[in-house]
Chain A
């Protein structure tokens, strides 16, 4: 241990997923300097960013928030949650702040609340694009002005800097918009002077809460005790365990590279980190590094409305039809194309997809067994129209066209589709796609300025 005082950070899993109450109580007894949890993910898809809807139920979010805020106020330390409401745009942050105010009112709590929105003005993205400072992340098309204009919402993933600013302003509860996961936890240790390697890697290890333990189903919070040259990760629920394996696994979770995790100002590098089993339930980590980047970057996420979806679910059991299913689907597609032309609907204004369960619906082009279909096929016919009207018009043709279509000289002749439901068409509603998934180069002061801290007394 170095001579500096270690910093303790208590973390629970993604807000609204629940956690062990006993584990939280035991964690609070360890007098952490911060209680925090992540609230977001892009895994639920672009729909929630595009619509502004919160992905989790209000009741489950309120249970977790209520206990966490109460615990933090009890010992007088900050509570931080980031990527609020899932997608972390303004409506998601506002919905979370509403909950926080409601909890404060019900429990007669008073505190300084900081709100940090993560919405990025489209004009700024256009300007940076024109300057050549926007690059694609992975196999994504180059960004265009059109894609920016079509986006219903654009957020940037903030780093640790806005959190530090809010803490300096005296925030006791912080509700932040879209954020990198470890940034939610790293502000307090970095502000206390802990070395970046140790502070960042420890924050990464706890950013999925109980996923760092051997039994995630027990919901134990985890406590990081962070010093300059090492940190210790342990569960706080009695009987829970962290092992070298369970802690080391966190950096590879949903990450293309198990050793490196990118941040706006650099990269958490665990290549030279060593994990030691400290005692039977906690793990000590040394050798963590943080490699600063030449230029700060912010990851942008944007969602655009691309149409409206209706689906039809049908089962097919006729073996002769299943044997020639690709040929059948081609003929089905042609029939819908004729219907579209007769209704003056352009090819570009709709998209028809067949999701063939029992053949290749789950893996598509990755499916090695697509030529060995099973004895029955579950078919979801998926139509997305540019407008609700186009989707409705073509959807009404899906059942009759597909069920009557005869390519095998069938024996029954009653129809190809076994319908499990009536009505057979299901309205799925608006469909969004990621319109922006890019890195934007920024100037140093923008690490804070793009994410303006708003303070209020609650």
Chain B
């Protein structure tokens, strides 16, 4: 572990956003400035189903995580708490649901730190 301690995800990523993916899913795109930073994030294992499950209270088997190398993005998709646009809607486009991801700790090992 680096002596500075772990970074927060919002210090490593260049953007973290959420949107609807259809009416039943919410998708998070976590983008990195370059291939190197993208690899650091992947190698750290910081973004995983257990972490997302704990932050959003959704079961791990309902979580999808993709590594999208062409754009250096880690994509996380979870079910919406309610179908979009219904009586209980809070965020029609799902664009303000990313905030809990900002604080995910990213442990850096000796190679990358």
Interface residues of A (CB under 8 A from B): 42-47, 137-140, 244-245, 248-249, 252-259, 273-275, 306-307, 351, 353, 355, 361-366, 368, 384, 431-434, 437
A47 and B85 contact, CB distance less than 8 A: yes
B89 and A45 contact, CB distance less than 8 A: yes
Q: Give a binary string over B11-23; 1 marks a CB under 8 Å from any A CB, 0 the rest.
A: 0000000011111
CA distance A47 to B21 in the complex (A): 18
Q: Is B57 an interface residue (CB 8 A)?
A: yes
B27 and A273 contact, CB distance less than 8 A: no
B86 and A433 contact, CB distance less than 8 A: yes
- In the assembled complex, how far is the CB of residue B70 from the closest CB belonging to chain A, in whole angstroms? 4
Instruction: Say which residue of A137, A256, A273 sits within 8 Å of B77 (CB atoms).
Output: A256
B23 and A248 contact, CB distance less than 8 A: no
- In the assembled complex, how far is the CB of residue B95 from the closest CB belonging to chain A, in whole angstroms? 10
CA distance A253 to B21 in the complex (A): 8
**Cβ-closest 8 pairs across A and B:** A138-B24, A45-B85, A248-B70, A248-B71, A256-B21, A258-B68, A256-B77, A433-B86
CA distance A131 to B70 in the complex (A): 42
Given contacts A245-B71, A362-B90, A362-B96, 7 further A-B contacts (CB under 8 A): A42-B22, A44-B92, A45-B84, A140-B83, A258-B71, A353-B87, A437-B23
CA distance A384 to B22 in the complex (A): 25
B26-72, CB < 8 A from A: 27, 29, 55-57, 64, 66, 68, 70-72
A252 and B93 contact, CB distance less than 8 A: no
Interface residues of B (CB under 8 A from A): 19-25, 27, 29, 55-57, 64, 66, 68, 70-73, 75, 77, 79-81, 83-93, 96-97, 99-100
A45 and B25 contact, CB distance less than 8 A: no
- In the assembled complex, how far is the CB of residue A140 from the closest CB belonging to chain B, in whole angstroms? 6
CA distance A42 to B81 in the complex (A): 18
Chain B residues, CB < 8 A from A364? 81, 88, 90
A257 and B64 contact, CB distance less than 8 A: yes
Q: Say whether, besides A365-B57, A366-B100, A42 and B66 are in contact (CB < 8 Å).
A: no
- In the assembled complex, how far is the CB of residue A181 from the closest CB belonging to chain B, in whole angstroms? 12
A244 and B71 contact, CB distance less than 8 A: yes
Closest to B56 in A: A366
CA distance A363 to B90 in the complex (A): 7
A45 and B92 contact, CB distance less than 8 A: yes
Instruction: Say which residue of A43, A253, A259, A434 sits within 8 Å of B86 (CB atoms).
Output: A434
CA distance A312 to B99 in the complex (A): 27
Chain B residues, CB < 8 A from A244? 70-71
Closest to B92 in A: A45
B19 and A254 contact, CB distance less than 8 A: yes
Closest to A299 in B: B22
27 A/B residue pairs, CB under 8 Å, sorted by A: A42-B22, A45-B84, A45-B89, A45-B92, A46-B85, A46-B86, A137-B22, A138-B25, A244-B71, A248-B70, A252-B27, A252-B29, A252-B73, A253-B19, A256-B77, A257-B64, A257-B66, A258-B66, A273-B70, A275-B70, A306-B87, A362-B96, A363-B90, A364-B90, A368-B55, A432-B85, A437-B22
